[in-house]
Copies of this chain bind each other. A is one copy, B any other.
C-alpha cells in the first residue's frame, strides 16, 4: 500500500506543515494503521522531492503530539492506542460545544471592581486597582452546569455582555488579538455552601468540583484569573497527558 502524499511548493504553507497535516489526516482516517512503519526518512524525502530535514520536521511535530514513535534502527511507527486529544488550554465553552451540547451562558455580573489581595496577586496588579469582574452561569440542556467567576486586568478587552452570552471568554480574548500561552490550574473539590447550592440547583453540602486558573499570554502577562465551580454529576475534567522526555 502506498500512501498518497504530495506537497504544493507554490503554497505559502510551509512544506513540513503540509506534510505533517497529511500524515495526521492519514492516521486519523485510518490509512496509516497503528503499529505500521512509516518508511524511512530518506526514501520518504526522495519520494516527495523534499530534503530530509524537512521530512524530519514534519515527523517530529507528530511525535511531539504523541501520534508517532521513533525507534533508532527500526523506523517510525504509528502509536497504536486510542489517543484522543492531548491536554489543551481549553475553555469550558469549547469543551461543551465539541461534545455537541449547545451550551448557554447567563451573565450574572459584568462590572469593574477594586482588586482584592487574592485577585491582585494572581493578576500581578496593584491591590485595589480596577479589574473587570464577570460572573456567569453555564447551562447545558437547560440545567445549570457550572458557575464561573472571572477577573481580568483593565484595558485589555471590553467585555460586552451580549458577546459573553454568545460565546466563551477564551474565544473572545483570542479574537481580541490576545495569544494565550500558558495557564496555572488547580482542581479540587469541596462541599457546596448554601449560596453555591442555590446557584447550581444542588443541595447544601453536596460535593462540588472546583477549578482555579490564572492564564498568561505570550509575554507572560496574566490576562485572566478565574474561580469556577462545577456540578460533578454534569461535568468532569477529561484529558490526555504526554510524558515530557
Stretch at the interface among A24-32, A96-104, A151-159, A218-226: A218-226
When A243-B180, A244-B88 are in contact, do A220 and B80 touch as well, CB less than 8 Å?
yes
Stretch at the interface among A1-9, A160-168, A201-209: A201-209
User: With the chains together, A111 CA to B181 CA distance in Å?
Assistant: 45
Interface size bracket, A side: 35 or more
Given the complex, which residues of B lie within 8 Å of A238, measured CB to CB?
A: 184-187
User: With the chains together, A188 CA to B233 CA distance in Å?
Assistant: 9
User: With the chains together, A158 CA to B207 CA distance in Å?
Assistant: 38
Closest to A35 in B: B220
Complex contact B237–A182 (CB within 8 A): no
**What is the distance, in angstroms, from A130's C-beta to the closest C-beta of chain B?**
22
Complex contact A81–B216 (CB within 8 A): yes
When A185-B240, A237-B186, A240-B182 are in contact, do A64 and B64 touch as well, CB less than 8 Å?
yes
- What is the count of identical protomers in the complex? 2
Interface membership of A92, Cβ < 8 A: no
Given the complex, which residues of B lie within 8 Å of A65, measured CB to CB?
A: 244
Give the residue of B181, B205, B207, B236 whose beta carbon is less than 8 angstroms from that of A186: B236
User: With the chains together, A183 CA to B189 CA distance in Å?
Assistant: 22
Give the residue of B83, B205, B237, B244 whose beta carbon is less than 8 angstroms from that of A188: B237
Complex contact A184–B84 (CB within 8 A): yes
Complex contact A79–B220 (CB within 8 A): yes
Interface residues of A (CB under 8 A from B): 34-35, 53, 64-66, 69, 79-84, 86-89, 180-191, 205-209, 216, 218-222, 232, 236-244
